[in-house]
Chain A
Amino acid sequence: MPKKKIARKSTAIDMTAMCDVSFLLLTFFMLATKFKPPDLVEVVTPASISDTKVAETNIITISIDKDGRVFFDMDGIPTKLKLIDEIDTNMKLGLTKEEKDNFALSAGVGVPFNQLKSYLNLRPNDQKSFKSPGIPVDTTLTESNQLFKWVAYARIVNPQARLSVKGDGGVKYPVVRAVFATLANKKIQGHKFYAVTTLKANPNQPEEKE
C-alpha cells in the first residue's frame, strides 16, 4: 500500500523559493553593476603583471587608438562642465549651453580646438560615426600641443585628478613619446601616471595568481 502512494507523487518541484532567491540575486547584481561608459574608441591595451586597479573617480583618461589618435576624457559631469567652461573662456570657442552639456555627457573628445564647436553640435549618434582626427600632441609646450592645454585645464578644475594613459599596443613610439613627454612636464606635474594594461601572470610567483 505505501508503495502505491509514492508512485503517485508528482515530480514537479516548488519553484517559488528558487525564484525568490534568483530574483534577490538578480536585484543585487543589477544594483551593484555600474556600466562602463561606452568607449570613444576601441583600444587594445598591452598586458603587464601589475594588478594595480585604476581609480574610478578623479581620473583623467588619455586614450590613444591604434592609428595614433589621441582622445581626452575626464570623470564627473560637474567637473567636465567646469572644464569646458574653462576651455571655452580661454580658447574663445563661443560654445553654447547645449554644446557644453553635450561635452559633459560625452565619453570624451578627440578633435582639435578649432573643430570642437562643430563636433559638440552633432547629436550623440552622429558623434559616434564622426571620424575624429585626434587631439594634436607633440613634445613642445606651444599652441600646437593641445593635449597639454586639456590636461593643464583639467588639473585646474580638479587638482586631485590622477592621470591614466590607455594606449593601444600597436601605437608607434613617437606618439607615445609625445604623450608621455607632455604629461611629464613640470607645469602639469603628471610624471606619475597609470598606464592601463590587462593582467598577465607573473612568472616569478605563479602560485600566487589565481
Chain B
Amino acid sequence: MAQMDTASSGDKKGGKKGKKLSTRVDLTPMVDLAFLLITFFMLTTTMNKPQAMQINMPVERNPDDPPPPEVPAAKVLTLILGSNNVIWYYEGLQSPEIKNTDYKSIRSIILDKKKKVEAAILPTDKIKSVVIIIKPTNDSNYNNLIDILDEMAIDEIGTYTVVPVTPQEMALVDQFKNAGGAPPAAN
C-alpha cells in the first residue's frame, strides 16, 4: 500500500506518462480481504461442534420383572439438590442427620464415601460399589442436574439413580433451614 502512495505522489499528474505505468496490480488489499474471510470461515467451522453427554434413563419396569436387588443402607449416599445451588446430603437410606454442601465440595464427600464403601466390601456382596441417589427438588435447575451427573462421571460412580424427592425429605430440609442451618447462596 505504502509503495503505491509514494509512486503516485513522486510524479504528480503533470509528469505522469501512460507507458510508464506498470501492469502490476497491488495485491495487498486483496490478500488482506482473503485472509479476513479465511479467518472468519475457519472460526465458524471449528466453533460449531456441539458436545453432548449420554444419558440413560431407566426403562419402565414390567410388573413381572424380577425385583431389583436390595441395597444395603451402608452403601447409600443420598444427594438432595436444593435451591440456590445447595446440596443436602445424608448417608444411609433414612437419616435424620442431614448436612449441606455446594457443588465444589461435593466431590470430596462422594470420593470419601466411595472409598469407605469399597473398603468394606465383602466377596459375597451383590452390590460392589457405592450407590448414589440423586433427588432434585423443584427448586433446583438443569445446571444442577447436569453438574451432578457430570460429577458421577468424574468420580467414576457406576451406580446412581435420579428419583423424585419425598415429602419427608423436603420437610427435613425445611426443618434444617429453619433451624438456621441454611448456608448463604453458593455459586
Residues of A within 8 A of B (CB): 10-12, 15-16, 18-19, 22-23, 25-26, 29-30, 32-36, 46-54, 64, 164-174, 176-177, 180, 183-186, 189, 191-199, 202-204
Taking CB atoms and an 8 Å cut-off, the chain B residues in 39-58 that contact chain A are 41-42, 44-45, 48-58
* A16 contact set on B, CB distance < 8 A: 27
**How far apart are the CA atoms of A172 and B31 in the complex, in Å?**
50
Contact B60 A50 (CB under 8 A): no
Given A169-B146, A176-B142, residue A30 in contact with residue B50 (CB < 8 A): no
* B37 contact set on A, CB distance < 8 A: 26, 30
Output the residue of B35, B58, B142, B154 with the most chain A CB within 10 A.
B142
Taking CB atoms and an 8 Å cut-off, the chain B residues in 115-150 that contact chain A are 136-147, 149-150
Contact B55 A49 (CB under 8 A): no
**How far apart are the CA atoms of A188 and B56 in the complex, in Å?**
14
How close is B81's CB to chain A, nearest CB, in angstroms? 7
How close is A50's CB to chain B, nearest CB, in angstroms? 4
A and B contact pairs by CB, cutoff 8 A, 24 listed: A19-B30, A19-B34, A29-B42, A30-B37, A33-B41, A46-B142, A46-B147, A47-B150, A52-B51, A53-B51, A169-B141, A169-B143, A169-B146, A170-B142, A170-B143, A172-B140, A172-B141, A173-B145, A176-B142, A176-B145, A180-B55, A184-B60, A185-B60, A196-B52
How close is B97's CB to chain A, nearest CB, in angstroms? 25
* A170 contact set on B, CB distance < 8 A: 141-143
How close is A13's CB to chain B, nearest CB, in angstroms? 9
**How far apart are the CA atoms of A165 and B26 in the complex, in Å?**
52
Contact A173 B49 (CB under 8 A): no
